[in-house]
Amino acid sequence: MATAVFHQALGTAQSHQHLQNSGSHLEFGNASLKLISKGFKVDIGLSRRGSYSSWKKKFGLIQALASQTSVVQPVSYPPNNSSDELRKKSSEAALILIRHGESLWNEKNLFTGCVDVPLTKKGVEEAIEAGKRISNIPVDMIYTSALIRAQMTAMLAMTQHRRKKVPIILHNENEQAREWSQIFSEDTKKQSIPVVTASQLNERMYGELQGLNKQETADRFGKEKVHEWRRSYDIPPPNGESLEMCAERAVAYFKDHIEPQLLSGKNVMIAAHGNSLRSIIMYLDKLTSQEVINLELSTGIPMLYILKGGKFIRRGSPPGPTEAGVYAYTRSLALYRQKLDDMLR
């Protein structure tokens, strides 16, 4: 109970920028929150049926709690051996998966793979529609592949978010890139979302099929052979990757870099590709190699998972603005939406 009240009160303190003060005291319903900088002492008092109890704890990682979306400091990851401990401590976090919108080579019916081509006009519209679907869901960090069609999808989607934070790609290629991309306004940093690009999230490398017309390739090699290359789990196209090979890199990256962020309480969006996202969903939903080959992801339709109690729960796709039906928000997401409504009035 005390932990829940602390997180609720801390969120309020952050929204009112009290964490930057040397010392703050907040009243939150029947709880009080006192923050003292440098010592990072948190004193929460709870009144229940006339009694009063206190809960005190020192927080060594207060910087991560106070500024979860800093784009100046490099993104840090907990050591791998702490994953089990984090799973036990994690409360609730949102994970949004979006397959990029239609690309110019999708439109031309060409095998794209790791060739870096942009979105079509339809793809741009799909990305914007995806953004409308997730406009009420909190986003603290964004991960994309190294390919422009995934990055365009993420950026366009975030233009529709009600919080109006700006996604900013982190450049850690070298020291100069880090220095030249620094932000020197604390207010601006608070209104930014760090975007991490990773080639491990790239589409499956289609080898010698890249750039070929799909229908012409089927006519040349036979429909059965091309279907085997495209839909089998462990058979790659000539000099390319199988889905199994793609899954090895994508899932390893997710487990090593993205999952620790979720376990620490951050809400994450991933904009990537059909096969890299299928691989991650295979891990999240514990699908077999036979089940995953039948999994189809539509372009520009986001999927939401909630990490709760160390387990990923699939919530499906939030409805679009013109769709009927009620989306099953969790209590935390409902509170977040209410906070957005209050801030935007």
Spans of all domains in the chain: 2-344
Is residue 180 a known part of a binding site?
no
Tell me which architecture the domain covering 2-344 has in CATH.
3-Layer(aba) Sandwich (3.40)
Active-site pick, 126, 129, 161, 203: 203
> What tokens appear for 67 in the block?
């500024």
Residue 8 has pLDDT above 60, yes or no: no
For 297-327, write each residue's pLDDT tens digit: 889 999 999 999 889 999 998 887 766 443 4
Note the pLDDT of residue 152. 97
Note the pLDDT of residue 254. 98
As a whole number of angstroms, the distance between CA 305 and CA 93 comes to 8
Q: What is the end-to-end Cα distance of the chain in Å, rounded?
A: 31
- Indicate the helix (H) or strand (E) that contains 53: strand 51-58
As a whole number of angstroms, the distance between CA 169 and CA 192 comes to 10
For 108-126, write each residue's pLDDT tens digit: 999 999 999 999 999 999 9
Note the pLDDT of residue 19. 36
Note the pLDDT of residue 293. 87
- How high is the mean pLDDT of the chain? 78
In the annotation, is 16 catalytic?
Answer: no
Whether 43 and 31 have beta carbons less than 8 Å apart is answered as no
Residue 9 has pLDDT above 50, yes or no: no
pLDDT band at 34 (very low <50, low <70, confident <90, very high): very low
Query: What phi, psi does 153 have (nearest 5°)?
Result: -60, -45
Q: Which residue has the higher pLDDT, 322 or 257?
A: 257
As a whole number of angstroms, the distance between CA 155 and CA 277 comes to 18
- The dihedral through the CA atoms of 62, 66, 72, 74 has a sign that is positive
Please give the full DSSP string across 297-336, using - where no structure is assigned: --TT--EEEEEETTEEEEEEPPPPTT--S-----HHHHHH
For 137-172, write each residue's pLDDT tens digit: 999 999 999 999 999 999 999 999 999 999 999 998
Note the pLDDT of residue 343. 56
> What tokens appear for 21 in the block?
């003060």
Residue 292 has pLDDT above 50, yes or no: yes
Q: Which residue has the higher pLDDT, 264 or 330?
A: 264
For residues 14-34, give the mean pLDDT.
Answer: 42
Is residue 143 a known part of a binding site?
no
> What tokens appear for 322 in the block?
């013109």
Note the pLDDT of residue 88. 46
Note the pLDDT of residue 296. 87
Is residue 203 a known part of a binding site?
yes
Is residue 21 a known part of a binding site?
no
Is residue 231 a known part of a binding site?
yes
In the chain, pLDDT over 90 holds for what percent of residues?
Answer: 60
As a whole number of angstroms, the distance between CA 295 and CA 282 comes to 9
Residue 193 has pLDDT above 60, yes or no: yes
The gap from C-alpha 216 to its chain's centroid, in whole angstroms, comes to 37
Is residue 192 a known part of a binding site?
no
For residues 223-238, give the mean pLDDT.
Answer: 93
Please give the full DSSP string across 160-194, using - where no structure is assigned: T-TT-PEEEE---SSHHHHHHT----HHHHHTEEE
Residue 56 has pLDDT above 50, yes or no: no
Note the pLDDT of residue 341. 56
Exposed / middle / buried, residue 99 (Cβ in 10 Å: 0-12, 13-18, 19+): buried
Residue 124's closest CA among 299, 270, 268?
A: 299
In the annotation, is 100 catalytic?
Answer: yes
As a whole number of angstroms, the distance between CA 166 and CA 56 comes to 35
